[in-house]
Amino acid sequence: MCTVCGCGEGEVQQHEHHHEEDEHGHGVHHTHSHAHHHDYGQGLAGAHVAGMSQTRMVAIEQDILSKNNRYADANRRYFSERGILALNLVSSPGSGKTTLLTQTIGALGEAFSMAVIEGDQQTSNDAERIRQTGVQAVQINTGKGCHLDAHMIGHALDDLKPKPASLLMIENVGNLVCPAAFDLGEAHKVVILSVTEGEDKPLKYPDMFHAADLMVLNKCDLLPYVAFDVEACCAHARRVNPTIRILKLSATTGEGMPAWLTWLKAAREMAGIEMSHPHEAS
């Protein structure tokens, strides 16, 4: 076990995993306990008897994800101080996340600096695909884990050191269930759904579509060949999340990509505006 932040061995495998005193306060938080004892003095034994032990109730009242959320807050502060737009890309496996990323990198060109964190159970194939485009990428292998958590992202940031005002894409493990619950400190969750999947996925996996701000409907060039009802899919997504935005595109053909790029630019502008808040207030 890591003695600095308590991460278990084998949980995360990362390149150059190190534990310097980092800038974004990751790992330096300690629990401030609001717990108080309720020692009723009436354990199973009823009295102190040799060989039998007293038990007591300890009220904790803590969110199970409180530790993850503390790391997520530290990540969010890191992004906010640097005007970085961090997006958490979630989908089932094979929806075209990595292709969307490589095409986005190509289309944005020099417009702004980008960095990528790739999450997969095994292999560094995706990070290598990203690096071939010239963009910095860190691969996190979650091993037995089915999602990224905020703690892993904190360590990845130590290695990646994304530039101020850059766009950080976090490609989560392909899974429409587990990543929904884990805040990474991102500005938005973006859920990617391809038209080769079922149009009722928003209803089947409501937690994820409920948590996302944007749904990207990918592989739209294949619509003539598949029985996928776009309108029904959008209605299902809005049923689960009435404020979700929806973009239809094909990362392969480039159809619909300009709207996605405009959304990215607008979201990055917003990240920059948020960055200036503390200074304006002071």
Question: Which spans of this chain sit near another protein (rule: CB under 8 A)?
Answer: 6, 8, 31, 33, 35, 37-38, 43, 53-68, 144-147, 149, 175, 177-178, 180-182, 203, 206-207, 210, 239-242
DSSP 8-state symbol, 13 = B
The smaller minimum CB distance to another protein, of residues 30 and 279, is found at 30
Burial 17-27 (b: 16+ CB within 10 A, else e): eeeeebebbbb
Beta bridge partners of 237: none
Is the CB of 207 or the CB of 213 nearer to another protein?
207
Q: In the chain, how long is the greatest CA-to-CA distance?
A: 78
> What minimum distance in Å lies between the beta carbon of 136 and another protein?
27
Distance from C-alpha of 247 to C-alpha of 205, rounded to nearest angstrom: 19
Task: Give me the least distance between CB of 269 and another protein, in Å please.
Answer: 29
Instruction: Record the tokens describing residue 119, joined without a space.
Output: 């999450």
Shortest distance (Å) from residue 57 CB to another protein: 5
Residue 216 near residue 100 (C-beta atoms within 8 A): yes
Closer residue to another protein (CB): 162 or 179: 179
Q: How far is the CB of 62 from another protein (least distance, A)?
A: 5
User: What is the Cα–Cα distance from 80 to 274, expressed in whole angstroms?
Assistant: 7
CA angle 168, 98, 122 (to 5 degrees): 95
**Residue carrying the six token digits 């493990």:** 173
Nearer CB in complex with another protein: 156/249? 156
Indicate the residue among 39 and 255 with the shorter CB distance to another protein: 39
**For another protein, the closer CB: 102 or 142:** 142
Least CB distance to another protein at residue 12 (A): 12
Tally of CB atoms within 10 A around 201:
22
How many Cβ atoms from other residues are within 10 Å of residue 276's Cβ? 10
Question: What minimum distance in Å lies between the beta carbon of 102 and another protein?
Answer: 28
